[in-house]
Structure 1
Amino acid sequence: MRWALVGLVTFVLFFPVLAAFFILLPFDRDRKHIHPLISFWAKAVLTVCPLIKVRLEGAEHLKQNGTYVLVANHQSIGDIIAILHLSHSFKFVAKEDLFWIPCLGWALWLAGYIPLVRGDRMSGKRAVDQASGYLKRGVSVLLFPEGTRSPSGEIQAFKVGAFKLAAEVGVPIVPIVIHGTRDFLPKGSRLLARRVQVTVKVGIPQQLAAKNNGSVESFSDQIREEMIQSLKSIRSQFKTGELVSV
């Protein structure tokens, strides 16, 4: 019965989002005002979902009118709907396959998120150009610098594209650490695994600085190490009982 309610909420609430898209489009070129509706939709779906609860930390680091390159670790397809709990308006760069998933994919298209075909250089260039355009117009962009979901749940090596983009446009990087989605829907699985509490932790905005010697690679390594330590901290809170699974 609960899953029927999840399906009903997912489907029914999509139509107000669709209506708002057509109403706002002439006045909202970058669809910034669609994101709060998508965020509301994601929260509503997970509110009635019996298996996943999302806890936000550090959302106050994101100024509502600030422009950032957000970088997050990637554990599961569930990362997308979990991170949509952030009220700060942004655009995802996500693999194109996701845009064809009923309701979720349609919402991604409507919100103006950025599709990427992995391994396709032209698609990569289009995605970078689109992301750069958004940033220059004051719209934040979110990327997964690992490039794909981590099979182990550990934070994998970063690609430096997100960091180059931030340096070129002159906006801060904001690290975001996600924990728990891998337990809910692991990579390679089509089944929902078990009930979990997901943590989305937003870090402090940072810019390429003199301490990095102007090196994007050094900056990327620094941010990755900070995210690894943050993920360890979240895990230790669960182990000591400060946080509990739902």
Structure 2
Amino acid sequence: MLRLIACFLYMGGYLVYTIPRLSRLKRLPEDLKPDIKKQLIHDTPKKWAKTFMTLTGSQVEVEGLHHIPEGPVLFASNHEGNFDIPVLIGAIEKPFGFISKIEVKKVPVLSSWMEAIDCVFIDRKNRDKAAGSIMSGVELLKKGNSLVIFPEGTRSKGGPVGLFKAGGFRLAKDSGVPIVPISILGTADVFEKNGRLVKPAKIKVTISPPVYSRQYKDKELISLAEEIRDTILQSRNEKRIAS
């Protein structure tokens, strides 16, 4: 219980603490180089994520960072639990945003930070708005921003990896960026499997080699989704055997 309280007090307190910094970042000079601007904006979420995971007492092991290519990419990851997001923010140096459900926009300060790091909010109940959000994501990728998708669409909570929805891979198809598969193993052990208490866990993040546009451009979205899922499943199984 103490870890749970510490985590959520830190999360709320840190958000309030960063309001002045968020305001300053919004006023960065327009002529500032995009890469420098992105790094300045992402520094704060990365510091939050690393401290947040330290408070859980968890060990995060990351493999395959060298597989991440230069330039914008679409990261595609399985989705075990709520702690996937801070784990990825803390583990990956390349700045990126998330594809998130639109309900998160109602959360003060947090939603402002998500907008600052170029997250895309999707209204899954409205197909037309969802399609517009996908197009916004495509434009972000074309402009040099990276994004993370969780193609399962919901948390597995430590159970079997769900089927991947194909729609998110439209982001890669229409922008031509590489797809980088990510396997996450162990985040559900922090929270979802513990009766909603926070406990230390061993978390393994494995980044597989990228799949480039020339490799997937002629594939149907459903086939592409299945291929990326298979890559992630293979990686997870190898980690289970190794441990």
User: Which bracket does the TM-score occupy, shorter chain normalised?
Assistant: 0.7 to 0.9
What CA deviation, in whole Å up to 9, does each residue of 1:151-198 have, x standing for no partner?
5622221112232221211111000111111222228x8612632111
Partner of 1:19: 20
Letter in 1 for 2:231: E
Unaligned runs of 5+ in 1: 239-246
The answer to whether residue 61 in structure 2 is matched with residue 55 in structure 1 is yes
The answer to whether residue 234 in structure 2 is matched with residue 229 in structure 1 is yes
Alignment of 1:76-225 (within 5 A): 76-85=81-90, 86-100=92-106, 105=111, 107-150=113-156, 153-186=159-192, 191-192=196-197, 194-209=199-214, 213-225=218-230
Partner of 1:46: 53
What CA deviation, in whole Å up to 9, does each residue of 1:37-89 have, x standing for no partner?
20111101222333x332221122224x5110111101111111111112211
- Residue 41 (structure 2) aligned to one of 22, 27, 34: 34
Partner of 1:71: helix, strand, or coil? strand
**Cα distance between partner residues in 1 of 2:166 and 2:130:** 13
Root-mean-square deviation (CA, aligned residues, Å) is: 2.9
The answer to whether the 8 Å contact 1:179/1:198 transfers is yes
Letter in 1 for 2:56: C
Partner of 2:78: 73
Partner of 2:174: helix, strand, or coil? helix
Letter in 1 for 2:63: E
**Cα distance between partner residues in 2 of 1:53 and 1:28:** 38
TM (normalized to structure 1)?
0.81
Identity among equivalent positions (%) equals 28
Against the structure 1 CA distance between its residues 141 and 28, is the aligned structure 2 distance closer, same or farther, given a 3 Å change threshold?
farther
* Structure 1 residue 16, shift from structure 2 partner: 5.4
Letter in 1 for 2:62: L
**Cα distance between partner residues in 2 of 1:213 and 1:7:** 45
TM (normalized to structure 2)?
0.82
**Cα distance between partner residues in 2 of 1:22 and 1:69:** 28
Against the structure 1 CA distance between its residues 152 and 53, is the aligned structure 2 distance closer, same or farther, given a 3 Å change threshold?
closer
**Cα distance between partner residues in 2 of 1:4 and 1:151:** 21
* Structure 1 residue 128, shift from structure 2 partner: 0.6
**Cα distance between partner residues in 2 of 1:13 and 1:201:** 28
The answer to whether the 8 Å contact 1:20/1:34 transfers is no
**Cα distance between partner residues in 2 of 1:83 and 1:96:** 20
Against the structure 1 CA distance between its residues 70 and 231, is the aligned structure 2 distance closer, same or farther, given a 3 Å change threshold?
same
Unaligned runs of 5+ in 2: none
* Structure 1 residue 11, shift from structure 2 partner: 4.1
The answer to whether the 8 Å contact 1:208/1:219 transfers is no
Against the structure 1 CA distance between its residues 84 and 129, is the aligned structure 2 distance closer, same or farther, given a 3 Å change threshold?
same
**Cα distance between partner residues in 1 of 2:140 and 2:13:** 30
The answer to whether the 8 Å contact 1:160/1:216 transfers is yes
